[in-house]
Amino acid sequence: MKVSIVVHSLSGKTRKFADSLFDRLTSDGHIVNLTQLETTVPIKGGSVRQKMDIKFTNLPSVNDAELVLFGGPVWAFGPSPVIIAAMQQIANLKGKSVVSFTTMGFPLKCMGGNAALAWMNRVAGTQGAKVLPGSVCCTMLRNLDEQIATETGRIAKLI
């Protein structure tokens, strides 16, 4: 299967999750493309509830992908506006399977992680994607590496 992973990460935590997914899916025999998003101007914070004009220098084409994984951090109790802007600008998700994943600092998924996934799933769904269950990994008071390994395995079994 052809898979595209599109990730926004500043701290490296969400990128670590994306790299884990890349390694696992590649070893499972899938053809995987990983893109870490780069914006034309640095975006170091914000909320999807604010109007932001976000442009990219490397927005990938996912035309050939059967599965697209979108990953980004939780910012202001919601998804990063960067990953949402990318999802909206890619705009050719019709008929593709989509899995969203996120990382967050707070210890409980109800403190922004669940809302971030719901928002990402809503954006993918409005573009006609088949939305599959996503993942949230928390860093505070948790072992991030163990969570990433568990969620990577769970996502790999979905496909």
pLDDT tens readout for residues 73-107: 999 999 999 999 999 999 789 999 999 999 999 99
Cite the DSSP H helix spans in 36-158. 81-90, 113-126, 144-158
CA-closest candidate to residue 19, choices 40, 30, 5, 37: 5
pLDDT tens-digit map of 127-150: 999 999 999 999 998 899 999 999
Distance between CA 88 and CA 119 in Å, rounded? 12
In whole angstroms, how far apart are CA 43 and each of 46, 47, 56, 61? 8, 11, 11, 22
CA distance 130 to 136: 19
The Cα–Cα gap between 67 and 42 comes to 28
* 87: nearest Cα among 4, 152, 13: 4
Structure tokens at 50: 């604010």
> How far apart, in Å, are the Cα atoms of 109 and each of 22, 32, 102, 105, 132?
24, 28, 10, 10, 18
Q: Can you read off the two tokens belonging to residue 13?
A: 């935590």
pLDDT, position 51: 87
> Would you say residue 7 has pLDDT above 90?
yes
- Sketch out the chain's domains with CATH numbers: 2-158 (3.40.50.360)
Alpha-carbon dihedral 99, 110, 154, 2, rounded to 10 degrees:
10
* Confidence grade of residue 10 (pLDDT, cut at 50, 70, 90): very high
